[in-house]
Structure 1
């Protein structure tokens, strides 16, 4: 008989969005289940949902499936395909937070049914800038399509937004443009994910002007993504931040560590009295409400800061400016600073600057009506 909705979160951001959808299902008396991939991905999403609504996939590799090499993934998928699929219920609508191999395997299992497959991408993308990357992407797309004809699309390397689904929702126009330039043939709409709406309300709470006192530093999970050079640069920048804290004892610095960053590095830091470190024990909305200024290197936190009207800086002491094609380079809420010490001495912030807000209300209403009709 099946259920109305199957949700497939891979990380906490997806889980936060989907928790909103489960509440909506309850209000509309629709049946749903949440497929938990925590043992596969070494993430923590189950806590966002009622346990009775969860189906836990028991397949558990030694390391996160996301971080496996390509051939390791193939070996794991071939050996665990049936174990994964035996837990997947029939559903009228399937919503996934991304389209990696596991999600594609589940999408493929619904082939031959009228299940509506939806991809809700919560994250920014950077276009392929070099010819090498462009040709690599084309090769991956051809392989993906070829294997897809054989029903083996889940074995191809991942390329976000290129799986055959009925609808793709992205968080801003930039992501839509990137996917279209990379050759995605999907029907793509801009929809602000539910977890971001709370940041729009923060703007009204912010003070209008004043000296910067509270500085929020957001880290990026470079080591998780095997970006070792950037990981080392970030560590140097953190030491630089500690030095700034000693120079400006009247200011408060808070380091918000990305959930997939190397926690051990931050746990072993010797912190000045005016520096604190947080491991997602405080909500991001609370941190952004507390802050007068956000300091990042290459973090999607810039998007939340923009929604909340919180000024954001990127220091050029250690990191070069983002590529012109990067979404950060087109964000007029970001200031690039070549001398943090001098900047912190003189900064006087104003929140009177108009910050355009991404709109997704029309797409969201369409999503709800489309889902209600299907389910």
Structure 2
């Protein structure tokens, strides 16, 4: 186990010139990215392995991180995806019978530069006031660079707005997971950063889950004869994913049932004709309250998004792109952000959060059942018309 009590210096530098001195953690070197905070009290392994965090330096607001180590059963993907990691107090020991290694060792193995021993509450309050911004962690020899050199590196990094990062996280070739219950049919999942728990939940609803590369075309989707299409979560700016939006319009034109989560919600919004915009500091964590307008129920949900759909919160509106009536189905109660869309004249809906929530909560898991019911009903109606 790597020593957590190193005296090696590290520094977090934000693009506005704010600096926080701490200790090296994980790999040594320099990492650049958008600095964001996640409010989850648990589930750090799922956070680290969520492809949606690609390009982001993640700060954990929970002060004590790493006590359960890392294991081989809970990863949401094939590797750690965060660009960097910020914690206040790393656990001194690993205390869980399922652990295979320490968090520090896992970060070092995957080359993730981190920093510990800083006032994460102060950083969170700063970001909450000023908004998410570019930043960098410098450790090892790079910690000795001049303040001006470090800040210049931060300012030369790309902004998250305008970035298409799906190519970095998507599978290279189609992967298939068979249904684990009574089979409904083939489901085309466009992998924009899909999590394993999502695949498992879809297979448990009777779908043969075909995870397709993000380079797939509408003809690739049609070739598997799907009963429905699913767009996953993923990193980057939805405004930079024109090809995925156009393909989704082909799916909607074919009247195939559609379900999108997180990034998929934003792309459905664009396909329907709405815009998207960048949030000041985003929603990240497993304690976000959302109102389901259809039931009046408030759900505690898992989020990881820095962009949102710009659509009217109340009433039915006509899709600007000609897909009939649309309504906002879910609303975030912290800031009234659109958290879900439902098309009323075609079989399509989406949510801005993660109903699979491997680390919890599970309030929104019913959405996979809602999707299954939509597919079954649509298939039956189509068969009846023939």
TM score, norm. by length of structure 2: 0.24
TM score, norm. by length of structure 1: 0.24
The structure with the greater share of residues assigned to helix is 1
The structure with the greater share of residues assigned to strand is 2
